[in-house]
């Protein structure tokens, strides 16, 4: 007997006196009273007892007929799928791309035809080297993969937070990755390039020198996925309605500006919170502080490509923004976290070959190889040719084809015709005018295996990047190289790297040689092309030259103790909120800190569990000295990491004990105005002059 749906229960109904709920796909779920669905097996059989396996008597043997036990363990044993061979550790979010204006003059891609057009998007950020469970703040490239569910199919811009790459030809990718991952005989190190194999390969691969400058720069230890740029790296093509080509490079620019941590901070963050970047993105989106990037394009024609001093097909080279200013064409907003990390972030399949009509490839040999690898790797990872049947990978536009069967086919074409042409007049047909067409490039030449002469300058842009940095950033690159090469045990490798650095910049080589305690510098490496000294510097390559002058999206950590000034806490909270920042409280105990007005404050962290590396700036809001060693570390690290520090008179003792001297980056908190002045100072993000003084 089927009764009418019970009006009070929305989409529920009663059959045989059982409360049933209609699921999203229209299927009926048995609903125990009170709306909690009954536990079932994967076959839908309701489970009466999930606490005990079926046995003879209370202590007898377990029975094979216990299909619930067997199914549960069977599925558990097969939960894992192969992690990505690179970019294993990643974190994704949903959002949308909004087109600013029509680009119909250069591309017929539908996504760029109408201003204001919103396209669903999914983005996965990742590290490259570490395993799925490694820490977020490794020194590493960050993947920046964007899936745009356009009306003409999925478009994947599978980029990084660095605009160039280590190698020029995809054939060397397995060697590169083998060299950077843990060494095969010993199984370490995990998630770091600081070991002999990597630097051996790099020191024997001069083409990687430009990328090495980026990887040793602060770009490789970003403060947040929200504060880093993204790049498509390769030169692509836009094709207009007449299939005329315009070369294009893609750049994602973060609305909150760029920011990195310092290496000592990264090391400590990994200990305090290995999921730092994940938590940062999760908290931002869940609190409604949606991160945003602007998509910019560098457009150029064949004449520009021919005249440009580097080969636009060479993925180890970039086009300086001052030479070809990026044009903003849209914005990407991430506003929803996945319901389930495995279902979406782990199973998402990005492929460089996924391009819509109006976008096409160039002959960049790295891109050409990538176009094979991504499709191939998805079969290994997801176990079926039908990975596009997974919701996260399925197009959101209509699609029709004759592909059928294969493992886990969830949608087979229906009807008799599974081929074309066919006489049944059934099934989809090609779309010659609207369908994807390739650029009709004239290609000629004999079959050869060679590297073009035009790819041969391996030092000029490495030099350009280094010399475009501020002195602070240059010192960070030198320190990073010193750290990494100090972990290299083979002297010949260190020496080879120094000879490359001599080709990039003498002062850089000298700093690294000094850090390594080298008595005699080697001779400069042979250079197929003499490094250029005349390239105009590119300020766009520096993080610090493009600082956001804002504390928005950042986090203030306030250390409190008994008697801390309640009014000042309120003032700091108000000033932080006005700056678009968040506040977290650190105290000796999670609960029960009595403030100056007698109120009792709860904390977000204990002083042991909330080190200052978790915050962008700190306030030492003490009414009395705090002797806990973790309090000393809190102040000492904030000072060493050049953070802006506010302090009350009573905190001076702690500051002295921690070596935190008063300077222009420390603000005495003696009232509400000081709170506002402190947050204004936080717009600088760090007080870098302190570092030079500390490092001497």
Active site members: 87, 160
Q: Answer yes or no whether residue 315 interacts with ligand HDD by CB under 6 A.
A: yes
- Specify the pairing of strand 582-587 against strand 605-606: parallel
Q: Between 393 and 658, name the residue whose CB sits nearer to ligand HDD.
A: 393
Q: For the CB of residue 676, give the shortest distance to ligand HDD in the complex, in Å.
A: 41
Among 124, 147, 278, 458, binds ligand HDD (CB under 6 A): 124
Instruction: Kindly indicate which of the ranges 285-293, 362-370, 515-523, 607-615 contains the residues binding ligand HDD, using the contact rule CB under 6 A.
Output: 362-370
Q: For the CB of residue 84, give the shortest distance to ligand HDD in the complex, in Å.
A: 4
d(CA 685, CA 256): 12
Nearest to 427 by CA among 412, 409, 438: 412
Cβ 555 vs Cβ 614: under 8 Å: yes
- Specify the pairing of strand 90-99 against strand 118-127: antiparallel
Cβ 477 vs Cβ 263: under 8 Å: no
Q: For the CB of residue 205, give the shortest distance to ligand HDD in the complex, in Å.
A: 14
Q: Between 91 and 96, name the residue whose CB sits nearer to ligand HDD.
A: 91
The length of the chain is 696
> DSSP alpha helices (H): ranges in 143-273?
173-180, 196-203, 209-215, 263-272
Secondary structure letter of residue 389 according to DSSP: G
Residue 160 tokens read as 């990084």
Q: Between 201 and 615, name the residue whose CB sits nearer to ligand HDD.
A: 201
3-state SS class at 281: helix
d(CA 412, CA 433): 27
Q: For the CB of residue 369, give the shortest distance to ligand HDD in the complex, in Å.
A: 4
Q: Between 213 and 366, name the residue whose CB sits nearer to ligand HDD.
A: 366
Beta carbons within 10 angstroms of residue 148's beta carbon: 24
Q: For the CB of residue 438, give the shortest distance to ligand HDD in the complex, in Å.
A: 20
Q: Between 225 and 459, name the residue whose CB sits nearer to ligand HDD.
A: 225
Tell me which residues in 173-202 interact with ligand HDD (CB under 6 A).
173
- Specify the pairing of strand 153-160 against strand 90-99: unpaired
Q: Between 85 and 521, name the residue whose CB sits nearer to ligand HDD.
A: 85
List b or e across 4-15, with b for residues whose CB sees 16 or more CB atoms inside 10 angstroms.
eeeeeeeebbbe
Cα end-to-end span (Å), the chain: 86
Instruction: Kindly indicate which of the ranges 131-139, 156-164, 215-223, 244-252 contains the residues binding ligand HDD, using the contact rule CB under 6 A.
Output: 156-164
d(CA 361, CA 543): 30
Q: Answer yes or no whether residue 371 interacts with ligand HDD by CB under 6 A.
A: no
Q: Between 126 and 203, name the residue whose CB sits nearer to ligand HDD.
A: 126
Q: For the CB of residue 620, give the shortest distance to ligand HDD in the complex, in Å.
A: 40
> Contacts with ligand HDD: how many residues (CB under 6 A)?
25
Instruction: Kindly indicate which of the ranges 58-66, 153-161, 453-461, 685-693 contains the residues binding ligand HDD, using the contact rule CB under 6 A.
Output: 153-161
Nearest to 588 by CA among 553, 567, 618, 562: 562
Instruction: Kindly indicate which of the ranges 40-48, 155-163, 274-282, 478-486 contains the residues binding ligand HDD, using the contact rule CB under 6 A.
Output: 155-163
Instruction: Kindly indicate which of the ranges 165-173, 183-191, 333-341, 599-607 contains the residues binding ligand HDD, using the contact rule CB under 6 A.
Output: 165-173
Nearest to ligand HDD by Cβ — which residue? 143
d(CA 565, CA 569): 6
Among 95, 143, 254, 531, binds ligand HDD (CB under 6 A): 143
Using alpha carbons, list the distances in angstroms from residue 106 to 102, 363, 641.
Answer: 9, 19, 46
Q: Answer yes or no whether residue 160 interacts with ligand HDD by CB under 6 A.
A: yes
3-state SS class at 230: strand
Among 158, 215, 216, 313, binds ligand HDD (CB under 6 A): 158
Q: Between 138 and 587, name the residue whose CB sits nearer to ligand HDD.
A: 138
Tell me which residues in 372-431 interact with ligand HDD (CB under 6 A).
373-374, 377
- Which residues lie across from 249 on neighbouring strands? 298
The mark string for 55-94 relative to ligand HDD (x by CB under 6 A, - otherwise) is: -----------------------------xxxx--x----
Concatenating the DSSP letter of every residue in 122-165 gives EEEEEESSS-TTS-TT-SS-EEEEEEEEETTEEEEEEEESSSS-
Beta carbons within 10 angstroms of residue 33's beta carbon: 7
Among 112, 122, 310, 350, binds ligand HDD (CB under 6 A): 350
Q: For the CB of residue 126, give the shortest distance to ligand HDD in the complex, in Å.
A: 5
Q: Between 359 and 620, name the residue whose CB sits nearer to ligand HDD.
A: 359
Residue 364 tokens read as 């960049």
Q: For the CB of residue 37, give the shortest distance to ligand HDD in the complex, in Å.
A: 33
Nearest to 273 by CA among 523, 634, 615: 615
Q: Answer yes or no whether residue 563 interacts with ligand HDD by CB under 6 A.
A: no
- Which residues lie across from 617 on neighbouring strands? 556
Q: Between 347 and 472, name the residue whose CB sits nearer to ligand HDD.
A: 347
Q: Between 142 and 503, name the residue whose CB sits nearer to ligand HDD.
A: 142
Q: Answer yes or no whether residue 366 interacts with ligand HDD by CB under 6 A.
A: yes
3-state SS class at 193: coil
Residue 307: which residues within 8 A CB-CB, separation 6 or more? none
What's the chain's Rg over C-alpha atoms?
Answer: 29
Q: Answer yes or no whether residue 145 interacts with ligand HDD by CB under 6 A.
A: yes
- Phi, psi (degrees; rounded to nearest 5) at 201: -60, -50
Among 223, 370, 467, 643, binds ligand HDD (CB under 6 A): 370
Q: For the CB of residue 221, give the shortest distance to ligand HDD in the complex, in Å.
A: 17
Cβ 687 vs Cβ 660: under 8 Å: no
Instruction: Kindly indicate which of the ranges 363-371, 425-433, 479-487, 531-539 contains the residues binding ligand HDD, using the contact rule CB under 6 A.
Output: 363-371
d(CA 182, CA 22): 50
Q: For the CB of residue 86, give the shortest distance to ligand HDD in the complex, in Å.
A: 5
Q: Between 145 and 481, name the residue whose CB sits nearer to ligand HDD.
A: 145
3-state SS class at 239: strand
Q: Answer yes or no whether residue 496 interacts with ligand HDD by CB under 6 A.
A: no
> DSSP alpha helices (H): ranges in 273-351?
276-286, 302-307
Q: For the CB of residue 352, give the shortest distance to ligand HDD in the complex, in Å.
A: 8
Q: Answer yes or no whether residue 122 interacts with ligand HDD by CB under 6 A.
A: no
d(CA 600, CA 32): 43
Q: For the CB of residue 466, give the shortest distance to ligand HDD in the complex, in Å.
A: 21
Q: Answer yes or no whether residue 233 interacts with ligand HDD by CB under 6 A.
A: yes
State the residues that interact with ligand HDD by CB under 6 A. Answer: 84-87, 90, 124, 126, 143, 145, 158-160, 165, 170, 173, 233, 315, 348, 350, 366, 369-370, 373-374, 377
């Amino acid at each position: 007997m089927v009764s009418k749906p019970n009006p009070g229960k929305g989409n529920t109904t009663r059959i045989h006196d059982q409360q049933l709920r209609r699921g999203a796909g229209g299927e009926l779920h048995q609903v125990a009273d009170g709306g909690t669905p009954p536990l079932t097996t994967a076959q839908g059989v309701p489970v009466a007892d999930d606490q005990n396996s079926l046995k003879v008597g209370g202590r007898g043997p377990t029975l094979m007929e216990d299909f619930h036990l067997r199914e549960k363990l069977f599925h558990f044993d097969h939960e894992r799928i192969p992690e990505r061979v690179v970019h294993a550790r990643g974190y994704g979010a949903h959002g949308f791309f909004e087109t600013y204006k029509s680009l119909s003059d250069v591309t017929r891609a539908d996504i760029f035809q109408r201003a204001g057009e919103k396209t669903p998007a999914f983005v996965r950020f990742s590290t490259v080297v570490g395993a799925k469970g490694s820490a977020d703040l490794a020194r590493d490239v960050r993947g920046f993969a964007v899936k745009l569910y356009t009306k003409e199919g999925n478009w994947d811009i599978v980029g990084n937070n660095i605009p160039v790459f280590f190698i020029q030809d995809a054939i060397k990718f397995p060697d590169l990755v083998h060299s950077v991952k843990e060494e095969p005989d010993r199984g370490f190190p995990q998630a770091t390039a600081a070991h002999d194999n990597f630097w051996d390969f790099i020191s024997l691969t001069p083409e990687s020198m430009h990328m090495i400058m980026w990887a040793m720069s602060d770009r490789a230890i970003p403060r947040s996925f929200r504060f880093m740029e993204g790049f498509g790296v390769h030169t692509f093509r836009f094709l207009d309605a007449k299939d005329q080509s315009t070369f294009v490079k893609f750049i994602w620019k973060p609305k909150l500006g760029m920011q990195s941590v310092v290496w000592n901070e990264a090391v400590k963050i990994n200990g305090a919170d290995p999921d730092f970047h994940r938590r940062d993105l999760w908290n931002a989106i869940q609190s409604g502080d949606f991160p945003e990037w602007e998509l910019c394009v560098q457009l150029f024609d064949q004449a520009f490509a021919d005249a440009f001093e580097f080969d636009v097909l060479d993925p180890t080279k970039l086009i300086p923004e001052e030479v070809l200013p990026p044009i903003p064409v849209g914005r990407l907003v991430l506003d929803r976290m996945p319901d389930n990390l495995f279902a979406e972030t782990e199973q998402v399949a990005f492929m460089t070959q996924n391009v819509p009509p109006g976008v096409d490839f160039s002959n960049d040999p790295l891109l050409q190889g990538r176009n094979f690898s991504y499709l191939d790797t998805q079969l290994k990872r997801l176990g079926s040719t039908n990975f596009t049947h997974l919701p996260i990978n399925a197009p959101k536009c209509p699609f029709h084809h004759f592909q059928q069967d294969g493992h886990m086919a969830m949608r087979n074409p229906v009807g008799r015709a599974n081929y074309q042409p066919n006489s049944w007049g059934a099934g989809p047909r090609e779309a010659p005018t609207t369908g994807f067409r390739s650029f009709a490039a004239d290609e000629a030449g004999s079959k050869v295996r060679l590297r073009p002469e035009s790819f041969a300058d391996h030092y000029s842009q490495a030099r350009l990047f280094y010399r475009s940095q501020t002195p602070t950033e240059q010192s960070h690159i030198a320190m990073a190289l010193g750290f990494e090469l100090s972990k290299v045990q083979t002297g010949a490798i260190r020496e080879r790297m120094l000879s490359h650095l001599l080709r990039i910049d003498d002062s850089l080589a000298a700093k690294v040689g000094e850090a390594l305690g080298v008595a005699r510098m080697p001779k400069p490496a042979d250079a197929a092309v003499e490094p250029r000294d005349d390239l105009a510097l590119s300020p766009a390559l520096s993080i610090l030259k493009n600082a956001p002058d804002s504390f928005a999206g950042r986090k203030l950590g306030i250390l409190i103790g008994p008697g801390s000034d309640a009014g000042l806490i309120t003032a700091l909270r108000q000033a932080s909120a006005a700056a678009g920042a968040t506040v977290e409280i650190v105290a000796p105990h999670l609960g029960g800190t009595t403030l100056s007005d007698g109120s009792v404050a709860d904390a977000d962290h204990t002083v042991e569990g909330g080190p200052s590396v978790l915050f962008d700036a700190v306030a030492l809001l003490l009414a009395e000295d705090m002797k806990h060693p973790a309090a000393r570390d809190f102040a000492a690290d904030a000072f060493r990491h050049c953070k802006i520090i506010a302090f009350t008179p009573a905190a001076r003792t702690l500051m002295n004990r921690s070596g935190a001297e008063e300077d222009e980056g420390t603000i005495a908190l003696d009232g509400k105005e000081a709170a506002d002045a402190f947050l204004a100072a936080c717009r600088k993000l760090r007080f870098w002059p302190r570092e030079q003084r500390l490092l001497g």
